[in-house]
Amino acid sequence: MTDEPVPTRPPLPETRSAATYPGLRDKVVLVTGGATGIGADIVRAFAGQGAQVAFLDIQDGPAAGLVGELAGAAHTPVFLPCDLTDLVALQAAIAAVGDSLGPVSVLVNNAADDTRHAIHEVTPEMWDHALAINLRPQFFAAQAVAPMMRGLGGGAIINLSSIAWRIGVEGLVVYGSAKSGVLGLTRALARALGPDNIRVNAVEPGAVMTDRQRALWYPTPESVAAMVERQTLRHALLGSDIARAVLFLASDDARMITRQSLVVDAGMI
């Protein structure tokens, strides 16, 4: 896809500036699925705050491009290739981040796969694979960083869910089930890790106009405009909007917020 402007109304004034969180500077932040889409915008956002960002992904080319794009940041992001369905590899990658950058202070469980399937097409293998990407790594990544955060005296974990489970998007039965499970996981982890001052929250994005979504589901200006018209706020939802919500939940400004889920969907109707 090209980067032509998304056809919608002019941006709101507040989208031209973003908050700065001094407490995030130099913090070690780990983002899963950070090479493209929302994940890449989250990497950009934390790098812009002066954080030390490491991100995991299986897409080497886009990852290298993102690292090159952000080479001028206070800390150039570090890319570690990792298949999150391989839990041994995931644990090793997280340990490598701790060894090279220091203890992880913020974990963003972003990686996901929203491939659509008709109900009659879903096999047990497809079900297991979808959960192995969309839910299982979120727990095991949290498990791996929890001792680091405990040693730091606290930390923040942000899990990416989706409004797909709320509205029942066609073809996303397995994905929606996993994303619903993310909220249960978030609340359970928050309860378990709260005594260590580790906050756990979730973000539920709406129809974010990433390159992937535009290529698959919103390929024309008319299709984008039709989705925007379903929203209470009639402006295209971008990855940077999700990233700003993640920044807030990771920041000291959210120090007493945990076990919550923040819906960022422009008020989809």
Residues 192 and 184: their CA atoms lie apart, in Å, by 12
pLDDT per residue as tens digits for the range 128-146: 999 999 999 999 999 999 9
Residue-level pLDDT at 242:
97
Q: What is the DSSP string of 49-94?
A: TT-EEEEEES-HHHHHHHHHHTTTSSS--EEEE--TT-HHHHHHHH
- Here the tokens at position 34 are 């950070």
Residues in the chain, total: 269
216 phi-psi bin (left φ>0, alpha ψ -120 to 50, beta other):
alpha
Active site residues per annotation = 175
DSSP secondary structure code for residue 254 in this structure:
G
Contact yes or no for 239/208 (Cβ under 8 A) = yes
Residue-level pLDDT at 1:
39
DSSP secondary structure code for residue 14 in this structure:
G
Residue-level pLDDT at 7:
45
Residue-level pLDDT at 13:
44
User: Among residues 200, 127, 205, 207, which one has the least CA distance to residue 161?
Assistant: 205
Residue-level pLDDT at 218:
85
Residue 209: C-alpha distances to residues 53, 221, 224, 235, 238 (Å): 24, 12, 8, 11, 5
Residue at 116: amino acid letter: R
Cα-flanking dihedrals φ and ψ of residue 84, to 5°? -70, -15
In this prediction, the residues of the chain whose per-residue pLDDT falls under 50 are 1-15
DSSP secondary structure code for residue 113 in this structure:
-
Residue-level pLDDT at 168:
83
Q: What is the residue extent of each domain of the chain?
A: 22-206+238-264
Q: Which residues contact 150 (CB under 8 A, 6 or more apart)?
A: 196, 198
Separation of first and last alpha carbons in the chain = 27
CATH number for the region 22-206+238-264 comes to: 3.40.50.720
Residue-level pLDDT at 16:
55
